[in-house]
Structure formats: structure tokens, C-alpha cells
Amino acid sequence: MEHAHYFKRNTVYKIEGDDISVVDVQENNALTPLDPWMARVVTLADGQHTIGQLIQHMIGQYPNGAPENLVETIESVITRLTESNVIELTARPSLLPYYLRIPMDEQDPKQATEMMINDGFIKPNSIQ
């Protein structure tokens, strides 16, 4: 895995207490809860940081030394999230649109919906 690639969210996400879920805005805002590792990567997938920076950030979370398999764990999580199209890897930094930049529960619903329609992220008839 190329650690110089940037990683960005491709999906809306929601935070409820300690739980983080991805939101399927095409299917009546169905929630898919994420395990803690996936949740951490999704919340950090702002399009402005590389996988290498993510790894360094995560290493810094372990003052007594990171687990031996930390890099492999992060790479596995990124692979799974990429395969399910929750995140995307890019060669350059990306600015996320409003509806992907912040959690759904912090967005103005009308503004987010209008922007998703204008960007072609959702179809007008898919709104429930």
C-alpha cells in the first residue's frame, strides 16, 4: 500500500455518542455501524492527510510503544473501507463537499440535501 496516498470519505457519516456509522443516503438513511478501527479511519479521512500521516498519528496514540502489527492493521482497515467504497485513495489532497466534511448530525439537512442533488451524489427522487 502506498503510504503517500491521501484518503478521503466517499460517504456521509453519523456520530451518536461513542458510535460512528456510515449513512446510506440512497436507502432512507440506513445506518451501518463501524467497528472502532474503521470508525477512526473514517472520521480522519478528510482528504487532506496521507496514509503515512495517519500511521504516524496512530503510533503517537501509544506512549509506551505501538503494537507490532499496527501498520498491518491500518492497511487492512483501509483496504476494507476502500473495497466497500467508504473511502477512496488519491494521489493529491482533496477538499470534501459539505455533506461529507462533517457528521450528518452537524449538518443543515436542507443545505446538505440541495448540495448532494446539485453534485449528483443523490437523485432528487431518492429523498425519503
**Residue 44's pLDDT band (boundaries 50, 70, 90)?**
very high
Q: Tell me, what's the pLDDT at 123? A: 87
Mean pLDDT of all residues in 88-100 = 98
Coil/strand/helix, residue 70? helix
- Does the pTM surpass 0.95? The reply is no
Q: Tell me, what's the pLDDT at 26? A: 87
Beta strand extents in the chain (DSSP E only): 6-9, 12-16, 19-24, 30-33, 46-50, 87-90
- 125 pLDDT more than 80: no
Is residue 5 within 8 Å of residue 82, measured between CB atoms?
no
- Candidates 52, 47, 43; CA nearest to 94 is 47
- 48 pLDDT more than 70: yes
Provide the CA 118 distance to its chain's centre, in angstroms: 21
Residues 6+ away with beta carbon under 8 Å from 5: 50, 51, 89, 90, 91
